[in-house]
Each structure stands twice: as C-alpha cells, then as structure tokens.
Amino acid sequence: MPTSRAKKAATVTNLLWLLLALLIKQIEVIEFKNSKIVLQNHEPGMNPSSEELAKIIMTRIGLDPRKSGSTDKMFRTLLEMYERSKVSHREKRPEAAVMTVEEMGAYAGITRQTMYDYLRRWLELNMITKTSYIVDNKVVIGYKLNGSTLESSFEKAVQQINNNTELTMRYIRELQKLIKNEKISNSQRMNNITDDAETVTETLPDVPESVVTA
C-alpha cells in the first residue's frame, strides 16, 4: 500500500501536470488569436459515400492539406473523433472522446509532428478543444470534438466564422463613416483656405497707379 507521503507526492505531480496543460492551452489561445480561416467552394458528386462527403467537408472548411502530395486521409481523423465522441457519450466516459496527437496523425497517415502543424487549423475553427485526463497517475493530453456530435462541434466553427464576418461588418461601417468624415473635413479645409485668401486680398492696401509724365 502506498504511504501517505507517496500519495501526496503523486497528487502534487498530477496537479503540476494539469497546471502545465492549462499553461499550454493558454499559450495556444494567444497564438491562435490572429487566425486564418480558409473557406472553399467544393460540391459532392451524386450519392456520395460518408468518406467522400467527409472529404468535401474537410476541403470546404479548410482542414484538408492544400499542398500537392500531402495526405488525403485527414478526413479519417474527423470521422474517428466522431466515433469516439459517440462512445464517450454512450458509455459516460469523457476520456473516451480524446485522441492524442499521435493517434490523430496515425489516422491521417502522417507523423505526429506534421499533425501538430495541421492542428492550428482545427483549433482556429474551434471545432476541437484541447483536454487532459489522468490514467495510472499520468496526465494524458489530447483533443476531442468541441461538442457531442459533428453538428454541434461545427456550430462552434459557424460561430467563429460569424464572429469574424460580424467584426468585418463593423469595420465596413466604420470605413464608410471615415470616408464621409474625411470628405467633410477636406471640404471644410478647402473652404477655410478660400476664405483666408479672400480676407488677405481685402486687407491689402490699394496701390496708386504710377503717373507717367511726358
């Protein structure tokens, strides 16, 4: 049986791991503040399979690799996350929904490091969320859908996109006001210059004509 001191040490270690996980998550929030969301217009063919439609969705929301020769299996990661989310909900085990970066890369047919490079896009859309859980006194860090279903997780992405477009609309309205105000300001400035010129002309003394004598 573990001693009380050993239990306390294990608890402190777990807390430190959790704090580290929260710190990493906070850093990511800062890193993804200036995000880049790419939306593309792709349509499925007639009677697509679930895999074909998943590919189309990944392309439309910018999660598919765009470089020539990159993996074409990224959609498998999305489908697996959905399957795990269903298991987690059915069995009431939150940790069952989590995929490590290694697992995500394995389903996509890429390395762990390459998957890290693509994670940025997933997090920018807010479709997945970073989480951690403890197994055998070890903290496991991974990712899961940001919702219990694909639809609910995509709703987060829709909100993210709407937030972007709404902010852009605010900038558009502000731009219109700035253009109008700048034109009014320039017009007033020109009127002031004209008025000043007229005032100077009015205050100049009359110069008598020279008298020329023969």
Residues paired with residue 142 on neighbouring β-strands, in sequence order: 131
Domain annotation covers residue 97: yes
Average pLDDT for residues 31-38, to the nearest whole number? 60
Domain that holds residue 120: 9-166
pLDDT in tens, 83-139: 999 999 999 999 999 999 999 999 999 999 999 989 999 999 999 999 988 878 888
Which of the four pLDDT bands, split at 50, 70 and 90, describes residue 16? low
What's the structural domain count of the chain?
A: 1
Task: Give pLDDT, residue 136.
Answer: 80
Query: What is the token pair recorded at 204?
Result: 């100049």
Task: Give pLDDT, residue 64.
Answer: 87
Task: Give this prediction's pTM.
Answer: 0.67
CATH of residue 85? 1.10.10
Task: Label residue 44 left, alpha or beta by phi (over 0 means left) and psi (-120 to 50 means alpha).
Answer: beta
Query: What is the token pair recorded at 48?
Result: 């697509």
Residue pair 130/28 in contact (Cβ under 8 Å)? The answer is yes
Instruction: Give the closest residue to 66 by CA, choosing from 116, 106, 109, 121.
Output: 121
Domain annotation covers residue 205: no
